[in-house]
Amino acid sequence: MNGVHDMGGMHGMGAIHYEKNEPVFHARWESRVFALFRLTRAWNKWNVDVSRRQIESIPAAQYLRMSYYERWFTALGELLVASGLITRAELVKGKRARGSPKATPPITAAQVASMPSAAALARREAPVAPRFQAGQQVRARNLHPVDHTRLPRYARGKLGAIHRDHGVWAFPDAIAHFLSDKPQHVYSVRFAARELWGETASPRDAVYLDLWDDYLEPA
Amino acid sequence: MKATRRGFLTAAGAAAAAQDHVHAQGHDHDHQAVPSDLTLRVKSLESLLVEKGLVDRAALDALVDRYEHAVGPRNGARVVARAWVDAGYKKRLLASAAAAMEELGFASQTGENLVAIENGPKVHNLVVCTLCSCYPWAVLGLPPVWYKSAPYRSRAVIDPRGVLREFGLELPEDAEVRVWDSTAELRYLVLPERPPGAEKLSEEALAALVTRDAMIGVAKVTLPQAGGRP
């Protein structure tokens, strides 16, 4: 999706504001949103790409205006309703519907430290052959999917070289829709800064992206 | 449900700028731009989910506590300091961060998707996530607001030297800047250069010098008398 979340290379976003001795959370509600988001995912009703897709679907103007955890909170409400864990009415009222069953939380306080990471959940053991080898020249495909993808706009159509093979992973463009995993290799691909940004970029600099097989073609 | 706020902020651009301005204050007014009812709405959702048995309140507390107190940049600093004092360890870390983390006693899944990238006199690495906020939680904790913000995400890839300059780091023209955009589930940890003059420091003292910013790649590690943050 050519959304506003795909920010690499954009201008006009202003100066970087650095906060000294920044706390982990700026308010209690942020920490609660963070924890709610993490713990409800343990129901396995969605994966990390489904939740990213949900955040990316926030209309651009709102996305830019919202703080980080406000985006999480907005996405969480929608994910909970879409997955059937709660109803829209429950979300709005903040009250459990009369007669609705009471579940048992999947994660206890003692299990918090050993929850699987998004990486563990996305890695696949499938015996898929790599299409490319380290050192090989590749071109990022000129794709413009209308939905979730992890191929940033700024790299599309650009020439790079395979730096390293990271093994086999589930394909985000598919699992964001609960479709089959489409397991495939992910590679670290090196793009010269000048290939991406033109003559004014340093001839020495480079950007490395982690890209799935389906995002690449031989060059 | 956000009608009040929409009415208040008429243009997204102005609003985004306003929020950036708020962030510039750099203290607990930071999130003043959020709707005043957000605290209540989050409380309400938490109560609902607890009431329905979908989450356990003690687990919520434990998770928050974990990221406020247990998981953070001190983990990454231990790894960096060990790599500085033990060349064999550094080699293993660069080859397989997962195994190297386990060597230091971290749980086996801590470094599972971690990739360590080494700075040198002519190579400087910088980590970003242009699409969202991917960050090596296991070794650095949760990312700072600036890392997740539009200005950093948009500019780190197109103007890394300008970004570094804003962080007070001027790189020589003949150095190579490598920007790592975390587009998949791999997570990057910058192994900064050991500061000159630190040869006699213990591993523990070295770890105390290593900052979060140096492990993201927006700073170098310096000795306190050379202007480094204590």
ipTM of model: 0.97
Single-letter amino acid, residue B124: H
Chain B CB contacts of A114 under 8 Å are 107, 109
Interface test with A, best of B65, B114, B135, B157 (most A CBs within 10 A): B157
- Residue-wise pLDDT for B85-132, tens only, equals 999 999 999 999 999 999 999 987 888 899 999 999 999 999 999 999
Please check whether residue B113 is in contact with residue B187, taking contact to mean a CB–CB distance below 8 angstroms: yes
A174 lies within 8 A of chain B by CB: no
Q: Which of B171, B173, B127, B118 shows the shortest CA–CA distance to B146? A: B127
Burial class (CB in 10 A: 0-12, 13-18, 19+), A109: middle
Q: Check if A168 contacts B (Cβ < 8 Å).
A: no
Query: Which one-letter amino acid corresponds to residue B164?
Result: L
Nearest alpha carbon to residue B213 among A20, A195, A31, A174: A20
Residue labelled with tokens 């962030």? B23
CB contact under 8 A, A9 and B158: yes
- What dihedral do alpha carbons A63, A68, A69, A72 form, nearest 10°? 50
Return the domain boundaries, chain A.
28-115, 137-218
Q: Give the pLDDT confidence score for residue A14 in this predicted structure.
A: 95
* pLDDT score, position B36: 65
Q: What is the mean pLDDT of chain A?
A: 96
C-beta separation of B173 from A202 below 8 A = yes
Percent pLDDT > 90 in chain B is 76
Average pLDDT of the residues in B159-172: 97
User: For testing the chain A interface, which of B57, B64, B101 should be mutated: the one with the most A CBs within 10 Å?
Assistant: B64
Q: Pairing mode, if any, of strands A206-212 and B176-181?
A: parallel
Nearest Cα of chain B lies from the Cα of A129 at a distance, in angstroms, of 19
Label residue B79 by pLDDT band (50, 70, 90): very high
**Helix A68-82 with A48-56: angle, nearest 10 deg:** 110
pLDDT at position B194 is 97
- CA proximity to B78, closest of B104, B114, B99: B104
Instruction: Please tell me if residue B177 touches chain A, with a CB cutoff of 8 Å.
Output: yes
A19 close to B148: Cβ distance less than 8 angstroms = no
Helix B38-51, helix A68-82: angle, nearest 10: 40
List, in order, residues 6 or more apart from A200 with CB less than 8 Å away: none
Are B161 and A7 an interchain contact pair (Cβ–Cβ within 8 Å)? Answer: no
Rounded to whole angstroms, how far apart are CA atoms A74 and A64? 13
CATH code of the domain made up of A137-218: 2.30.30.50
| Distance linking the first and last C-alpha atoms of chain A | 25
Edge to edge, the sheet with strand A216-218 lists A216-218, A137-140, A159-169, A184-192, A206-212, B176-181, B123-128
List the domains of chain B with CATH numbers: 3-69 (no CATH), 71-226 (3.90.330.10)
Instruction: Using pLDDT thresholds of 50, 70 and 90, give the confidence band for residue A178.
Output: confident
Over 70: is that where the pLDDT of B182 sits? yes
Beta-strand pair A184-192/A159-169: antiparallel
Q: Across the interface, do A86 and B186 touch by the CB < 8 Å criterion?
A: no
- pLDDT tens-digit series, residues A9-59: 999 999 999 999 999 999 999 999 999 999 999 999 999 999 999 999 999
Mapping DSSP to helix (H, G, I), strand (E, B) and coil, where does residue A188 land? strand
C-alpha span between B108 and B106 (Å, rounded): 6
CATH number of A28-115: 1.10.472.20
